[in-house]
Amino acid sequence: MSRALVIGAGPAGLMAAGALARAGLPVVVAEAKPSVGRKFLMAGKSGLNLTKDEPIEQFAAAYTGSTAGLLRSAVRRFGPDAVADWARGLGQEVFTGSSGRMFPRSMKASPLLRAWLAELAGLGVEFRTRWRWTGFDGAGLAFDTPEGRQVLHPSVTVLALGGASWPRLGSDAAWVTWLAEKGVAITPLRPANAGLAVDWTPHMGKHYGTPVKAVRLTAGGASLRGEFVISERGLEGSAIYAVTKAVREGAPLTLDLCPDWSVGEVAERLSRPRGKATVAAHLRKTLRLDPARLALLMEFGRPLPEGAPLAALVKALPVRHAGLRPIAEAISTAGGIADESLDGYEIKALPSVFAAGEMLDWEAPTGGYLLTGCFATGREAGEAAAARAKRSAQ
């Protein structure tokens, strides 16, 4: 009988395992860590954002990269509505927040993961933890295991090893070298949805951990109003993550500290008599700047100009930073297996080997797109691998 192997027990790998098992194949899932779904559980620590309730074409347009076409097709077939129905089918009711983001009622990942694993066990999926893939051995796949070196020869394999973010949870990108040696084109992995490194002056210390609101961020073609946090290491949060791609590509980042007023309105307010008030007090009073925004203006704008130049600075404050935080600290990665090396989800240079999730060359913002992309591509890769196994068995 055809046997299927899935390497990696994150969202994409678990979805692939379910699709293969439903197609009637015996499935083994090999996971390097002692337990499965570690990054999935970490993603749920502050609320598991499964997907986003928005028109499907708008949702699909969020995916970029050479395999964006695959992603867009996948989420059209298994998008927000399907993800919500899938979670409900596992006994986890979902709700939609004010931003359109969808979460389990529990807000946690662990109840959903437990139900998911129970379903997979019922389908006969076998899990082998502490099985670390170490590359190819001829036509086989070699593993370091608690029982020593093992080499498997499955009929079909789905690789779902993640990118290079959060390597301590399992995504260490060791696969890049092994696939490249087989002639697979890999777009270099880079940080996505990452914080910005800033070398703060000492006066910023009292603002660490402070959220910054009512600000518009602009970098290249990306411009949005959102929130972020001043941290000891720099700037972090959803609004910063949304401009990661533009910043990574070299675009300067500016902050509009008063997005509700035009530059003329800001200039008019600043022209009001200051009296004996300090510059900081005048800015705070006339522009209603809270301590966080005022601190950023002082940090990035000094020495402060006067008059119209100061108004222009308030509306477009250049952020001096030291680049993105390292890829190991990023929420996700850009880059991966390039579209030219794929026939659907099957790797051209490795017949019967498929890839899914963050191993593929795509990028998307936070807000439900990342998990949905992994769910959808894992499901599709699993179905494609099952079809390949059946064809081979005929």
The string of pLDDT tens digits covering residues 60-93 is: 999 999 999 999 999 999 999 999 999 999 999 9
pTM over 0.75: yes
What is the average pLDDT value for the chain, to the nearest integer? 96
Instruction: Specify the pLDDT at position 393.
Output: 86
Please say whether the beta carbons of 192 and 363 come within 8 A.
Answer: yes
Task: Give the per-residue pLDDT at 1.
Answer: 53
| For residue 14, pLDDT beyond 70 | yes
State pLDDT tens for residues 307-353: 889 999 999 999 999 999 999 999 999 999 999 999 999 999 999 99
Is residue 187 within 8 Å of 338, Cβ to Cβ? Answer: yes
pLDDT at residue 44, rounded to an integer = 81
pLDDT digit string (tens) for 144-169?
999 999 999 999 999 999 999 999 99
Q: How far apart, in whole angstroms, are the C-alpha atoms of residue 313 and residue 300? A: 10
The average pLDDT across 279-288 equals 93
pLDDT tens per residue across span 38-67: 999 998 888 999 999 999 999 999 999 999
Quick: pLDDT tens for 240-251.
999 999 999 999
The residue ranges of every structural domain in the chain are: 4-191+333-393, 196-318
Contact, 300 vs 252, CB < 8 A?
Answer: no
Taking 90 as the threshold, does the pLDDT of residue 274 lie above it?
no
Give the homologous superfamily in CATH for domain 4-191+333-393.
Answer: FAD/NAD(P)-binding domain (3.50.50.60)
Residues 168 and 32: beta-carbon distance below 8 Å: no
Question: Phi/psi of residue 200, each to 5°?
Answer: -70, 150
pLDDT, tens digit (0-9, with 9 covering 90-100), for 221-240: 999 999 999 999 999 999 99
User: Taking residues 199-206, what's their average pLDDT?
Assistant: 96
Neighbours of 303 (CB within 10 A): 4
Please give the Cα distance from 381 to 394 (Å, whole number): 20
Number of residues that this document lists for the chain: 394
Q: 174: which 2 tokens? A: 């060791």
Give residue 2's pLDDT.
74
